[in-house]
Structure 1
Amino acid sequence: MPLPRTATTFAPPVMEARRWLEGMTFTEDRPLINVSQAAPVDPPPEGLRRHIAETALTVAEAHLYGPVLGLPELRDEVATQFSAAYGGEIAAAQVAITSGCNQAFCAAIMSLCGEGDEVILPTPWYFNHKMWLDMLGVTTVPLATGRDLLPDPERAAALITDRTRAIVLVTPNNPGGVEYPAELVRAFFDMARARGIALIVDETYRDFDSRSGAPHDLFTDPDWHDTLIQLYSFSKAYRLTGHRVGAMITSAARLAEAEKFLDTVTICPNQLGQHAALWGMRNLSQWLAGERAEILDRRAAISDHFPMLEATGWKLMGVGAYFAYVEHPFDAPSDEVAQKLVQEAHVLTLPGTMFMPASDASGQRQMRIAFANVDRAGIQTLFERLKAVQI
Structure 2
Amino acid sequence: MTAATLNPLVTNLASPPIPAVQAWGKSYDGSRGELIDLSQAVPGYPAHVNMLQWLGEAASSLAYTNYGPIEGETVLRQTYAAHVSELYDAAIGTGNVHITSGCNQAFVCASMVTAAAGSTVLVTDPFYFNHETTLSMLGINTRTVRCDASEGFVPTTDAIHAAMTQDVRALALVTPNNPTGAIYPANRLQSIFDLCRELGIWLILDETYRDFLPDGAGAPHGLFSNVDWQGNLIQLYSFSKSLCIPGHRLGVITAGEAVVNEIAKIMDNLQICPPRAPQAAVARALPELAEWRARNRLEIEARAKALHQVMDGLNGWKLESVGAYFAFVRHPFEGRVSAEVAEQLAKRVGVLAIPGEYFGVEQTPFLRFAFANADITTISQLRERLGGFNLSPDSITLG
Q: TM-score, normalised by structure 2?
A: 0.93
**Are 2:123 and 1:109 aligned?**
no
**Are 2:26 and 1:39 aligned?**
no
Q: Which residue of 1 aligns with 2:57?
A: 54
Q: Which residue of 2 aligns with 1:323?
A: 326
2:168 aligns with one of 149, 161, 164: 164
Deviations 1:158-213 (A, max 9, x none): 22222101111111111100110001100110000111000011000000011521
Q: Which residue of 1 aligns with 2:395?
A: none
Mapped to 1, the partners of 2:44 and 2:327 lie a distance apart of 18
Given that 1:83 and 1:90 are in contact with CA atoms closer than 8 Å, whether structure 2 keeps it comes out as yes
**Are 2:236 and 1:234 aligned?**
no
Given that 1:328 and 1:367 are in contact with CA atoms closer than 8 Å, whether structure 2 keeps it comes out as yes
Quote the offset at 1:23 in angstroms.
4.1
Secondary structure of 1:173 counterpart: coil
Q: Which residue identity is paired with 1:364?
A: T
Structure 1 residues 41 and 272: alpha-carbon distance in aligned structure 2, compared to 1, 3 A threshold? farther
Q: Which residue identity is paired with 2:123?
A: L
Q: Which residue of 2 aligns with 1:260?
A: 265
Q: Which residue of 2 aligns with 1:364?
A: 364
Deviations 1:226-280 (A, max 9, x none): 1110000000010110000010001111112111111111111111111121111
Mapped to 2, the partners of 1:22 and 1:294 lie a distance apart of 29
Q: Which residue of 1 aligns with 2:308?
A: 303
Secondary structure of 1:64 counterpart: coil
**Are 2:386 and 1:381 aligned?**
no
Given that 2:325 and 2:372 are in contact with CA atoms closer than 8 Å, whether structure 1 keeps it comes out as yes
Quote the offset at 1:41 in angstroms.
5.1
Q: Which residue identity is paired with 2:56?
A: A
Given that 1:62 and 1:271 are in contact with CA atoms closer than 8 Å, whether structure 2 keeps it comes out as yes
Mapped to 2, the partners of 1:226 and 1:23 lie a distance apart of 51
Q: Which residue identity is paired with 2:219?
A: A
Q: How does 1:150-189 map to 2 (within 5 A)?
A: 150-189=154-193
Quote the offset at 1:56 in angstroms.
2.4
Q: CA RMSD for the aligned pairs?
A: 1.4
Given that 1:55 and 1:275 are in contact with CA atoms closer than 8 Å, whether structure 2 keeps it comes out as yes
Q: Which residue of 1 aligns with 2:297?
A: 292
Given that 2:338 and 2:367 are in contact with CA atoms closer than 8 Å, whether structure 1 keeps it comes out as yes
Q: Which residue identity is paired with 1:327?
A: R
Given that 1:235 and 1:244 are in contact with CA atoms closer than 8 Å, whether structure 2 keeps it comes out as yes
Identity %: 39
Mapped to 1, the partners of 2:163 and 2:144 lie a distance apart of 9
Deviations 1:255-311 (A, max 9, x none): 1211111111111111111112111102100100111010010011111221142xx
Which residues of structure 1 form unaligned runs of 5+? none
Given that 2:28 and 2:348 are in contact with CA atoms closer than 8 Å, whether structure 1 keeps it comes out as no
Mapped to 1, the partners of 2:272 and 2:12 lie a distance apart of 26
| Runs of 4+ with deviation above 3 angstroms | 1-4, 22-25
In terms of mean alpha carbon deviation, does 14-23 or 260-269 score higher?
14-23
Which residues of structure 2 form unaligned runs of 5+? 392-399
Mapped to 1, the partners of 2:294 and 2:44 lie a distance apart of 18
Given that 1:113 and 1:165 are in contact with CA atoms closer than 8 Å, whether structure 2 keeps it comes out as yes
1:123 aligns with one of 117, 122, 125: 125
**Are 2:288 and 1:283 aligned?**
yes
Mapped to 2, the partners of 1:155 and 1:207 lie a distance apart of 28
Q: Alignment length, in residue pairs? A: 383
Given that 1:308 and 1:387 are in contact with CA atoms closer than 8 Å, whether structure 2 keeps it comes out as no
Mapped to 2, the partners of 1:259 and 1:4 lie a distance apart of 28
Q: Which residue identity is paired with 1:276?
A: A
Q: Which residue of 2 aligns with 1:133?
A: 135
Mapped to 1, the partners of 2:44 and 2:213 lie a distance apart of 20
Q: How does 1:346-357 map to 2 (within 5 A)?
A: 346-356=350-360
Secondary structure of 2:372 counterpart: coil
**Are 2:202 and 1:198 aligned?**
yes
Secondary structure of 1:9 counterpart: coil
Secondary structure of 1:260 counterpart: helix
In terms of mean alpha carbon deviation, does 1-10 or 267-276 score higher?
1-10
Quote the offset at 1:151 in angstroms.
0.6
Given that 1:308 and 1:383 are in contact with CA atoms closer than 8 Å, whether structure 2 keeps it comes out as no
Q: Which residue identity is paired with 1:368?
A: R
Secondary structure of 1:143 counterpart: strand
